[in-house]
Amino acid sequence: MPIFKKVKKESAVGIVIGVLLPIMVFSLLPATDTGQTLELAYIDFLFTLRGDRDAPDNVVIVAVDEPSFQEIGIQWPWPRQLHAMLIDQLKAAGAKTIAFDVLFVEASDEEGDKTLADAAKRAGNVIFGATVSQVKRQGYVQSIMVEPLDILKEAARDVALVNFFPDPDGIIRHGRAVISSMKTLAGASAENAGFVSSDSLSEWPYLIDFAGQSGTVKTVSYYQALSPNDFLPPDTFKDKMVFVGFASDAAIDIQGAVDAFPTPFFRISRKMMFGVEIHANSASTLANGTPLKEIKGKIILLIFFILSILPMLSRTRPLMLLLSAASILLSLAGISIYLFIGQNMLLNVAMALTATGASAIWWAGYGFLSNVREKRQIKGAFDRYVTPDVVKEVLKNPDMLQLGGQKKELSVLFSDIRGFTTLSEKLDPEDLVSLLNSYLTNMTEKVFLHHGTLDKYIGDAIMAIFGAPLERPDHAACACRTAVDMISALSGLTPEWEQMGLPAPRIGIGINTGFMVVGNMGSEKRFDYTVMGDEVNLASRLEGLNKTYKTCIIIAENTKKAVENDGFLLRELDSVRVKGKKLPVRIYEVMGYESEADDALKRVSELFIQGLEAYRKQEWEGAKRIFNEILSIRADDGPASVFIERCDILKENPPGADWDGVWVMTTK
């Protein structure tokens, strides 16, 4: 009798657990990251299964694409007169709205801005894009609104946000017509085209009814839209919402990355969708009355729960248990797929499938409790990193943590991985995080080794300060030593990168020395120890110039003067006028330590000075001979190859007798 009671007690516990398990799935799992991922992944599965449909008949995309770059023959940014011509053509072709997924936030030439504004005013249906940038701080998020130029804003029919708000897993599935009382590009287009009323627009998210993968929405090239009568059927744009934006696989360097994002098809195809296509799909969804309706409610949840515990009835017969569980799972999935594909209804059965599967597994073990707990590794995210010396100094002087700043002469370093966006697309998120952590750890060690203070990480970029908060008279030399050692350290990372199928890492570094404001910036409750000022901005620009001159380390003249007796092999590169600066800046390359340079490298440095002198005298052929001699010594010398190309350009387009030798940079 005691044994019998024990068996009955164990069976009762098993039954209770079997009933509680689905309840736990339905009540607790959706609130977890795993549950959200399952539900969102199921939506992706439905979209992928539905596949591509006919292109929507109310939207057309005008793509800034590779054929357009080849046909137009002008580098980006294009003259705004060109956009004005496009507006005139689209309006004449009967476009209901013309929405630009291109930001016009900086002034171009005055005539170009006015021409574009006049065209927008004539058309009366142009929507220009604005954006909200969000910067995460410690404990709060700072939002910054960036709108078009006033002249364009006044001429536009509407100004709308181009921002996307992805789901927690980073994939864009939902759209919004209004965000914080401001219409989105999709919302403004649908409203101004007359497809929806302003009263019907809300901030409530809706499921975007994607027509298919990237390329499904009708798309024409920008150059074709400039001459529609020559390339396109006459009704291409008639009564359509037209979206203008980037749809090029080339890395157009506007904000550092191609304007493409993951959508429900990304999980399987691994192919992202251009932002302008997402706007077009979103606007078409609004114009069609947001046809995808989600089915949910307490009755649905109750039905799901009853189905999930049905395997309990067959718990003593394994084959029947398997068949019943399989029947329930297939029925749930089949009904959901039919409703989505055939009736435009979303019945998300991810939790029901999970609960039924969990119940079946539990009963198959009959008393075997599988308690799977997700282990989360808590990562501490620090907004500032400092050396132990700085910590000691702060402990001795607590006032350093007070809000405020002071003007001091310091050196600041910016570094960035070349082509990191392209590299990141080749890796899974876990591998990418591991690779980036390894890289940042190595580079940060060099900063600390030479008495620097890590200001912040900006993705794969590093910003470091030298000379504060601890004063060092040799801060410029410390910054340059850090840069040289960072370049040397890349060889140690190469095997790890090559093992992942990536090319050897390359980085660009910019250093500037000058007076800047340093201190704790922010609010009384949350602040960062950082630097700001024109000299800081210049250092950031110098880092970007490495792409132009095919170099690794570029410093400004102030830094060069401070370190020219500290054992570095330097060569003057050019005199440039960077974007945002009126006065030209002499820039120099740090080629390494002079003591470690061989005779060939020193000869390259000497020859480059001669070539630069001939170049500035407009002796193009003489300069080319010298730069070619450099290439015969050092075949991969980037600056020499750059100046050979530049000499050819200037020979064909002489700058004139009053040329001061300054090269004007039009990009950041």
Q: Tell whether the model's pLDDT for residue 210 goes beyond 90.
A: yes
Report the pLDDT value the prediction gives residue 398, as an integer from 0 to 100: 52
Q: How far apart are CA 282 and CA 209, in angstroms?
A: 7
CA angle 121, 126, 132 (to 5 degrees): 120
- The type of residue at 556 is A
Radius of gyration of the chain from its Cα atoms, rounded to whole angstroms: 31
CB-based contact 308:19 (threshold 8 Å): no
Q: 275: which residues sit within 8 A by CB, 6+ positions away?
A: 101, 162, 164, 245, 246, 259, 260, 261
Q: Phi and psi of 220, rounded to 5°?
A: -125, 155
| Secondary-structure percent of the chain, ordered helix, strand, coil, rounded to 5 | 50, 20, 30
Query: Which regions of 247-358 does DSSP assign to beta strands (E)?
Result: 260-261, 273-274, 293-294, 345-346
Report the pLDDT value the prediction gives residue 253, as an integer from 0 to 100: 38
Report the pLDDT value the prediction gives residue 330, as an integer from 0 to 100: 85
Q: 311: which residues sit within 8 A by CB, 6+ positions away?
A: 321, 324, 325, 328, 356, 359, 360, 363
Residue showing tokens 């060069």? 560
Average pLDDT over residues 498-516: 91
Q: Tell whether the model's pLDDT for residue 360 goes beyond 90.
A: no
What string of H, E and C letters represents the secondary structure of 401-447?
HCCEEEEEEEEEEEEEECCHHHHHCCCCHHHHHHHHHHHHHHHHHHH
Q: How far apart are CA 178 and CA 478, in angstroms?
A: 50
- 33 falls in which pLDDT band (50, 70, 90)? confident
Q: How far apart are CA 251 and CA 253, in angstroms?
A: 6
Q: Are strands 174-175 and 206-207 parallel, antiparallel or unpaired?
A: antiparallel
DSSP conformational letter for 398: G
Report the pLDDT value the prediction gives residue 26, as an integer from 0 to 100: 67
Q: How far apart are CA 244 and CA 357, in angstroms?
A: 47
- 248 falls in which pLDDT band (50, 70, 90)? confident
Q: How far apart are CA 19 and CA 310, in angstroms?
A: 10
N residues, the chain: 668
- The type of residue at 342 is G
Q: How far apart are CA 442 and CA 447, in angstroms?
A: 9
Nearest residue to 337 via CA among 55, 52, 51, 29? 51
Domain 388-566: top CATH class = alpha beta
Report the pLDDT value the prediction gives residue 217, as an integer from 0 to 100: 94
Q: How far apart are CA 427 and CA 151, in angstroms?
A: 43
Domain boundary assignment for the chain = 2-50+294-365, 59-287, 388-566
Report the pLDDT value the prediction gives residue 397, as an integer from 0 to 100: 59
Nearest residue to 615 via CA among 627, 606, 631? 627
How far is CA 412 from each of CA 101, 152, 453, 480, 593, rounded to the nearest angstrom?
Answer: 35, 37, 10, 10, 20
Q: What is the pLDDT of residues 592-629, one digit of tens each?
A: 999 998 999 999 999 999 999 999 999 999 999 999 99
Q: What's the token pair of residue 497?
A: 């990168």
Question: If 0-12 CB within 10 Å is exposed, 13-18 middle and 19+ buried, where does residue 5 land?
Answer: exposed
Average pLDDT over residues 481-507: 91
Q: Phi and psi of 109, rounded to 5°?
A: -70, 150
Report the pLDDT value the prediction gives residue 396, as an integer from 0 to 100: 58
Residue showing tokens 């539900």? 39
**Which parts of 552-666 fold into alpha helices (H)?**
557-563, 599-616, 620-633, 638-652
Task: Answer with the residue of higher pLDDT: 325 or 101.
Answer: 101
Distance of CA 152 to the CA centre of its chain: 26
Nearest residue to 165 via CA among 65, 86, 275, 252? 275
